[in-house]
Amino acid sequence: MNADETVASGRRVLRLEAAALARTESRLGQSFADAVRLVTESKGRVIVAGVGKSGIIARKIAATMTSTGTPATFLHPVESIHGDLGIVGADDVAILLSKSGETAELLPLLEQLSGLGVRIIAITGGEHSTLATHADVWLDASVEEEACPHDLAPTTSSTVALAIGDALAVTLLEQKGFQREDFARLHPGGSLGRRLLTVKSIMLTDDLPLLRDSATVRDAWLQVAERRGIALIVDETEALLGVVTAGDLARRILSESELFSQTVDYVMTRSPRTARADELASATVYRMQQAGIMAMPVTDDANHVLGIVHLHDILRAGTH
C-alpha cells in the first residue's frame, strides 16, 4: 500500500464507525431511559460482563462508571461460575455485552444472575438472541458491517458498545449531580484530580489569625510572626476589613519608631485579594503567584472569613 492507500484505509474505518455511531444515536430511545432508571433505582452495584473484545469493552465501561460516581465492577463470565459469583448481590444491576447475544461463556452467567433476581441490561446486536430476549432491557448495538475488510474482527461493533456504555455512564453522572469536586475526590492520586482540588479542601479553618481593627500593630506583628505571615482584620461579625502581612510591616518598621502602638488599620491592606472556598486551587495558586503573595483569606459572598489558604499548602497538595 502506498501512502494514499494507507490514509484511505484509515479514513474508511473512521467513516464506517462514525456512520455506525450516528445510526446508534438515532435508535437511542425508551430502552436507554429504562436502563438508566434501573441503575439509578438500584441499591447495589453495576456488574459488567463480557468475553473477548466485549470483555475489554466491559472493563472500560465498569472503570468509567466507577470513576464518575456509579459503583461498578467487571465480572469475568467464566470465573463467575467458579466462585466469583459471590460478589453479586440481589440489589445489583448487570450489564452484559455480546455482539451476537449468543456467546456461549456468557449464557451460564445470564442464567445465574436471573436466578439471583439481578436486573439485566443487554448490549448486543442480536435483537432476538438469547441474551436480548431474557434481559430486562435491551440496548441495540447492531452494526451493518465491521470495519475489518473481512467483516470478522470486532471493530465497528465494539466501538458502538463502548459508546453506549459511555452514554450510560455520563447520563448517570448528570442525574446524580456528579461535580468536578467529586471527580477530584475519587481521583486523589491523579494529576487531573489534584488540579481539580478546591480551596475548601486545603484551607485552614481552625484557630485563624483574626484581629479586630482596635488591635495594635504589635498584636498584628505577633500574629504575623507566629501564624505564617498574615493576620486577618475583621469586624464583630468576622467580615473581612483587611489584612496585615510581613510585607506591610517591613515597609514601615524602619521609618516609624512609634509604629507598634498604632492600631492595625493604620498598616493593613484594606482591599486584599481573597479566595472562595469553591474556587479551584489551581486558579488560586496562579493568582497568588501573579500577585507575589503567600496567603489569602477565604471568604463567603458576604465577605465573612471562612478560612485561610497558604501557597505552600496548595503546592504541597500537588495542584501546580
Q: What is the 3 state secondary structure string of 234-277?
A: ECCCCEEEEEEEHHHHHHHHCCCCCHHHCEHHHCCECCCCCECC
DSSP β-bridge partners for residue 108: none
pLDDT band at 300 (very low <50, low <70, confident <90, very high): very high
Q: Is the pLDDT of residue 124 over 70?
A: yes
**Of 177 and 118, more confident:** 118
Does residue 235 contact residue 212 with C-beta atoms inside 8 Å? yes
**Segment 274-303 mean pLDDT:** 88
pLDDT digits (tens, 9 = 90+) for 144-192: 888 887 777 788 999 999 999 999 999 998 887 766 555 555 555 554 5
The predicted pLDDT at position 66 comes to 87
Cα 89 from Cα 106, distance rounded (Å): 18
Cα 200 from Cα 151, distance rounded (Å): 54
Range in 43-47, 71-75, 93-97, 114-118 the model is least confident about: 114-118
The amino acid that residue 296 corresponds to is M
**Of 200 and 317, more confident:** 200
Range in 72-76, 236-240, 314-318 the model is least confident about: 314-318
Instruction: Report percent pLDDT > 90 for the chain.
Output: 46
**Of 15 and 189, more confident:** 15
The predicted pLDDT at position 148 comes to 81
Rounded to the nearest 10 degrees, how much is the dihedral formed by the CA atoms of 269, 270, 273, 279? Answer: 140
Range in 102-106, 108-112, 134-138, 260-264 the model is least confident about: 260-264
Cα 78 from Cα 51, distance rounded (Å): 9
Q: Is the pLDDT of residue 139 over 60?
A: yes
**Segment 301-312 mean pLDDT:** 91
Task: List domains and CATH numbers for the chain.
Answer: 3-178 (3.40.50.10490), 199-316 (3.10.580.10)
Cα 311 from Cα 289, distance rounded (Å): 8
The per-residue pLDDT of the chain, averaged, comes to: 86
Q: Is the pLDDT of residue 320 over 50?
A: no
Cα 43 from Cα 37, distance rounded (Å): 12
pLDDT digits (tens, 9 = 90+) for 79-103: 876 667 788 888 999 999 999 999 9
How many degrees, rounded to 5, is the angle at CA 165 between CA 160 and CA 167? 95
What are the residue ranges of helices labelled H in the chain?
3-27, 30-41, 53-67, 77-80, 107-115, 130-134, 156-176, 180-186, 191-195, 217-226, 246-253, 281-291, 311-316
For residue 24, give the nearest of 143, 155, 195, 166 by alpha carbon.
Answer: 143
Whole-structure pTM value = 0.60
Q: What is the layout of strands, in order, in the sheet containing 93-98?
A: 72-74, 46-49, 93-98, 119-124, 137-140
